Amino acid sequence: MDMPLRRIDSLVFDNSFARLPEGMHARVRPTPLAGVRLAGVSTEAASLLGLAAPALFDEQAVAWLSGSEAWPQTAPLAMCYAGHQFGHYVPQLGDGRAIVLGEVKTAQGHWELQLKGAGLTPFSRDGDGRAVLRSTIREYLCSEAMHALGIPTTRALCLFDSDEEVYRERIERGALLVRMAPSHVRFGSFEVFYYRGQYARLRELADYVIAHDFPALRDTPRPYLALLREVVERTARLIAQWQLVGFAHGVMNTDNMSILGLTLDYGPFGFLDAYEPGFICNHSDYHGRYAFDRQPSIALWNLTCLAQAMLPLFDADDGDAAAAQARDVLAVFEPTLSAAYAAGMRAKLGLREAQPGDAALGARLLSLMAAAGVDYTNLFRDLGDLQLADSGADAPLRDRFVDREAFDAWAAEYRARLRQEHSHDARRQAAMARANPRYILRNYLAQRAIERAEAGDYAEIEHLRSLLSQPYDEQPAMREYAAEPPDWGRAIEVSCSS
């Protein structure tokens, strides 16, 4: 059934973060972009607001969502936060190019609408407050693709192109993304008040987060410890999902870590093509701090920073006791991540039951893939074609490996493991297809859409968004989008300015 076409002025705003004390945010209005025009709309994200996509093409909707006109119900603001960037504490960051319009309330929950690239704020730190078209397209596509993969993420409602010139590594067109999340509070939102010694503000922020996003924690004996534990567990499960799908964030600073355990702030991200554990997707990350295989340890490091910032909130007799409480909560991270990753890897391998040797079985396959540079996504997807009967039909799989005999040995072990649980080929293949995507947002696909958009053609953006909204479906007519990158696609470099 088609969704009834509601006008955007039917949205109801609450603006709860705007009611927090001055100092937690700065009131600021968006700066209109020159020659702004709508370049993409996510039907699925619009439905979360009770809107059909055509409602966003209305002239008034374009004016409000692009920041060209003041939206009467909203209370625009930039959020204040700090953060550890590449391991070094920066005492004040804040929304330097993002402005939260307000919070839309629906029957299903609440969604903050944030304009990313909306102009200067008091936190811009010599920046121009703008985003460029290429980075906006990348975030628009990837946040919606991650949601379709089942990974917690901010959402992208729509994106705007413009005629405004913005300088990054070259002169580019300015653009704007309308981003959605129940909350944009970050680890760094807590850090700024801890390091300023503003513990009353720290408590007010924690109370707000609990009341707004974790109301079930209000009546627990130690709500702030319970909040930390919830964030630790959510973050652990999130990182496990990143590792399982082959996603590298690229800039896991504490100001880019969501208190809700969402994937936040898509900049120099990248999905694995060839399996490379030490993959670095951000060419500004000269020392590989945020390499793919370091994401779990960096996530724990970031959570430790958050726990440090929350110490004054814990019900303890002294600092040592509070630190001990925090350490106990942080100790939950590794087993939570390991359990989530193990369950996810079993699903990728089509295993129904947990057995002691499963982790080693998966690790040996990854080792073979790394040695041969096998495409991560395609290998796992096509592994579902392997049959229990060793009929010699493994050639399409084994030929991807340098050491074919080593793959044969692994495949024999894998078949024996499948037989232990009486696996059935067709049922297993169907289950593996639900756990292993056929389509991901490869860098070369995003780059192709960017180049066409820069030439004034936005069709490929919508084409990709639609394809990636069903990443587990075969979509035979679209199989070219599952291809490994061409040589030029392997050479794409993405930086923090992306």
DSSP-assigned letter for residue 319: H
Dist CA 66 CA 415 (whole Å): 55
Q: Which residues pair with 112 in a beta bridge?
A: 103, 181
Which amino acid, one-letter code, is at 156? A
SS3 422: coil
- Selecting among 95, 161, 255, 375, the annotated active-site residue is 255
Cα pseudo-dihedral 408, 410, 413, 419, rounded to 10: -80
Residues sharing a CB contact under 8 Å with residue 174, sequence separation 6 or more, in sequence order: 33, 34, 117, 130, 131, 132, 133, 162, 164, 165, 166
**Contact yes or no for 290/280 (Cβ under 8 A):** yes
**Contact yes or no for 436/377 (Cβ under 8 A):** yes
295: exposed, middle or buried (Cβ count in 10 Å: 0-12, 13-18, 19+): buried
Q: Is 255 an annotated catalytic residue?
A: yes
CA atoms within 13 A on the CB side of 70: 7
DSSP element (H, E) containing 132: strand 131-132
**Dihedral sign (CA 122, 124, 125, 130):** negative
Residues sharing a CB contact under 8 Å with residue 62, sequence separation 6 or more, in sequence order: 36, 38, 56, 68, 160
Residue that the structure tokens 């209370």 belong to: 75
Give the largest Cα separation in the chain, rounded: 70
E strand residue ranges, 139-266: 155-167, 171-181, 247-248
Residue from 241, 240, 246, 251 nearest 272 by CA: 246
**Cα–Cα–Cα angle for 337, 341, 345, nearest 5°?**
175
End-to-end Cα distance, the chain? 39
Give me the active site residues, please: 255
